[in-house]
Amino acid sequence: MSITGDSVFKISRWLGLNENPDGETELKAGEAAEMRNFRITDSGGLQLRPGYRAIAEKAWDGPVRGVWNGMVGERETTVFAAGGSLWELDVKSGAATPILPESETIADDDTRFFGFGGSVYIQNGDGYYVWDGVSAVASVEGYRPLVAVACQPGGGGTALERVNKLNGRRRVRFSPTGSANVFQLPEKSLQSVDFVRNRITNTEYAAADYSINLTNGTVMFASAPAAGTDTIEIGYTYPETMRCEVERMRFAEIFNGSSDNRVFLYGDGTNRTLYSGLDYDGTPRADYFPDLNVLDIGTSNTPITAMIRHYSLLAVFKTDGAFSVAYGTITLAGGAVTAAFYWTPANRSIGNTPPGQAQLVLNAPLTLCDGAALRRARSETIFHPGASQADVVHPQKTRAPHTQTSEGIGEAPGDYRGGIRQPPLVSAMPTRLPETTALPSQTGIGAGAL
C-alpha cells in the first residue's frame, strides 16, 4: 500500500477476458471483465490490438461498395466504388479522385474488381467497366471478332471466330473475283457498316467509293476490287447483342488449366458461368466472351456461389455441392484443335453459401456452408479447421490415389472423363459418367477455334 492509498499488483501472466455466463464475478489475477484494444500473446503478455485509421477524407455519399489494390499499367494503385462513382485513392495524401466522368454514374451496389491485361475491370451486376489508369473509366466496348474468312462476293466463306456477347460488332474478309462489285455480308438488317478496308494497301475506302444496303446486308463498290484472297475486310454492327448476360455477372475468377489467361464470370443467380476467349492473334482478352463459351454447372435449381482456382483445376461451389472444372482440348470435324472445359461433381451435399466468399487458406479452398467453415483438401477428406480426428468426415472413396501430370493425362489409376483424368478436389462421392462437357459447336457465325 502506497502513502497515497493506491494498491500495486504485479501480474506475470495475462489470462484475457472472462465473461462468466453463470454470473460469477470473482476474477483470477490476470483476468479482465472488460478488455478494449488489447490482445493476449501466446506467452501471456499484453499487446495493443491492431486498429485502423482514416486514410481519406470522405468526398462521397454512402458506404464504400468495394476496394481493390493492384497494378494498372506500370504503377500500383488503389481504386474503390462509393456514392455511385469510382475513385482512385492516393494512400499517402489521402486524396480521392473520381475516375468516372462526372456526367456518369454507376449502380451504388456491391462492386468487385479484377486485374487483367494491364487494366482493372469492374463488376456490379448492372454494368461491366474497365480502367486503364490513363483515361476515364468506361463501359467495356468489346473485341470485334473476325467471324468469317475466304468469303466470296455472293456470300459463304469459312466461319472463324464466334460472335462476342458484349457487342454486335463483327468483321469479315472477302476474296474478290475482279468482276463482282456487290458483296453480301453474313447477316441482314444491320445497324451499320463501320468500315471497308483494303488489306493490301492497309487503307480504308472512302464513303464515296461504295454504297450500303443495311436491310439486305450488302456493300456495292463503285468499281469492282481487284481479284485476291482475303484482301477486302468489312466491319459491320448487328443491332442485337447478349451484353446483359455479361453485365449481370458479379464475380470473376481467372483460370485456364495450368495458366491464368481466361476470365470466368459468374454470380447472376444461375448455375451458369461465361468464360472469355482468345482473339485472332491468340491474345487473351477480358473483353471477348464468345457466344458458346458457356458452362452450366450441375442442375439449374441452385446457383454458382463461388469459384477459385486450385492447382490446375477450377473449384466451383454451389449452395448444395462442389464441382471441379478441368481444361482440355478437342479436335473438331475440320481438324482444328480447340479448348474445351469439362466439369465433374466433387461433393454432392457440401458447398458454399455466401456469394463470392471462397478463399485459399494454406493453399486449400475455404468455404462457408451450414454455419461452418470448411477447408477442402486435395485428398479425399473434408474437415472443419481445428476439428479433432473424431470430427473428420471420410466420405466413401471411389478411386485410388494418383499423381496428375502437367497435361492432366496419364496412366496412373484414376477417374477418366472425356479422356482427361480428374484427380479429386475434395471428398469424392459416388459419381457417374460425364454429365456435361462444354464443347465448341459448329453452328452459328464464328464457330470454330477459340
Contact (Cβ atoms closer than 8 angstroms) between residue 210 and residue 236 = no
Alpha-carbon gap, residue 308 to 86, rounded angstroms: 26
Contacts from 61-67 at CB under 8 Å and sequence distance 24+? 62/108, 65/108, 65/109, 65/110, 65/111, 65/124, 66/110, 66/111, 66/112, 66/113, 66/124
49 confidence band (pLDDT: 50, 70, 90) = confident
Least confidently predicted of 36-50, 112-126, 167-181: 36-50
pLDDT at residue 236 greater than cutoff 70:
yes
pLDDT confidence band for 428 (50 / 70 / 90): very low
pLDDT, tens digit (0-9, with 9 covering 90-100), for 216-232 = 999 999 999 999 999 99
pLDDT at 433: 28
Looking at residue 427, its pLDDT comes to: 32
Buried b (16+ CB within 10 A) or exposed e, 222-240: eeebeeeebbbbbbbbbee
Q: Which of 174, 185, 169 is nearest to 149 (CA)?
A: 174
As given in the structure block, the three cell numbers for residue 185 are: 455480308
**Selection from 273-287, 333-347, 435-449 with the highest mean pLDDT:** 273-287
**337 confidence band (pLDDT: 50, 70, 90):** confident
pLDDT band at residue 446 under the 50/70/90 scheme: very low
Cell numbers at 19, concatenated = 465473461
Q: Which amino acid is at 266?
A: Y
| CA pair distance 132, 86, nearest whole angstrom | 13
Is CATH 1.10.287 the right assignment for the domain spanning 146-237? no
Q: Where are the domains of the chain?
A: 1-51, 64-139, 146-237, 243-438
Distance CA 249, CA 227 (A): 46
Question: N- to C-terminal Cα distance for the chain?
Answer: 83
- Rounded to two decimals, the pTM is 0.77
For residues 119 and 79, give the distance between their C-alpha atoms in angstroms, rounded to a whole number. Answer: 12
pLDDT computed for residue 402 by the predictor = 32
The sign of the CA dihedral 352, 357, 363, 369 is: negative
Supply the mean pLDDT for the chain: 83
Contacts of 377 (CB under 8 A, 6+ apart): 364, 383, 426
pLDDT of residue 24: 63
> How many other CB atoms sit within 10 Å of the CB of residue 72?
20
pLDDT for 4: 66
90 backbone dihedrals φ, ψ, rounded to 5° = -90, 105
Reported as type and span, the H/E element at residue 139 is strand 138-139
Above 50 in pLDDT, residue 441?
Answer: no
Query: Would you say residue 251 has pLDDT above 60?
Result: yes
For the cut 70, the answer to whether the pLDDT of residue 395 exceeds it is no
Q: What band does 331 get if pLDDT is binned at 50, 70 and 90?
A: confident
